[in-house]
Amino acid sequence: MIFTVAVDGPAAAGKGTISRAVATEFGFAHLDTGLLYRAVGVVSELRGVDPVTVARSLSPEDLARDDLRSLAAGDAASRVAVISDVRAALVDFQRSFARRSGGAVLDGRDIGTVICPQAEVKIFVTASAEARAHRRWREVGGDEAQVLAEVRARDDRDMNRAEAPLRPAADAVRLDTTDLSIAEAVARASALIRTCLPR
């Protein structure tokens, strides 16, 4: 069975947590596409190598780095994600993963609009900037006001980039997690997926 679930949304809205949970529930493969961009950004900065070169030669070791969840890695990802040749280098990998046999869940910022517009389910996970910044602050610490400023700056970059800007697909179902628990958000996403599965 080929069945793709596209989960998009801004940073710290909960898309990764929801995606991992529903992938486990339905036995689908899961790909956090943001990790691809985080790895490209971090590796290119550390090695002083052109991001396009890194994107074309990403290794499993690059994706397994333990620093890919940091704020710095998120910023690096946002910077390289605006480079069209980086995006092109990673598109084929993501599309192939999305249409693999057995079902797949991909989370990112342009899955339903660019990577896999034919996905059987499209969910746009969102939350207020304040709620997302508070979640990120609890995860990484630091000055919460600064984290909020960084979340807003990241949103601005992601939503206003020339290529594949962050926006919901026209047929995506919006899931606002501002006031939802993780369990509630996962339950809503699972219910939607269940209604779209082939009988």
Mark the binding-site residues for ATP, compressed into ranges: 9-17
Q: Which residue has tokens 């939503």?
A: 159
Residues 191 and 170: their CA atoms lie apart, in Å, by 20
The closest of 29, 25, 27, 9 to 191, measured between CA atoms, is 25
If you ran DSSP here, which 8-state letter would residue 184 be given? Answer: H
Residues 137 and 143: their CA atoms lie apart, in Å, by 8
Residues 147 and 119: their CA atoms lie apart, in Å, by 33
Measuring CA to CA, how many Å separate 114 from each of 66, 84, 94, 108, 138?
28, 13, 11, 11, 32
Report yes or no: 154 and 71 within 8 Å, Cβ to Cβ: no
Report yes or no: 5 and 106 within 8 Å, Cβ to Cβ: yes
The closest of 76, 112, 79, 82 to 94, measured between CA atoms, is 112
Residues 124 and 8: their CA atoms lie apart, in Å, by 5
Q: Which residues are annotated as a binding site?
A: 9-17
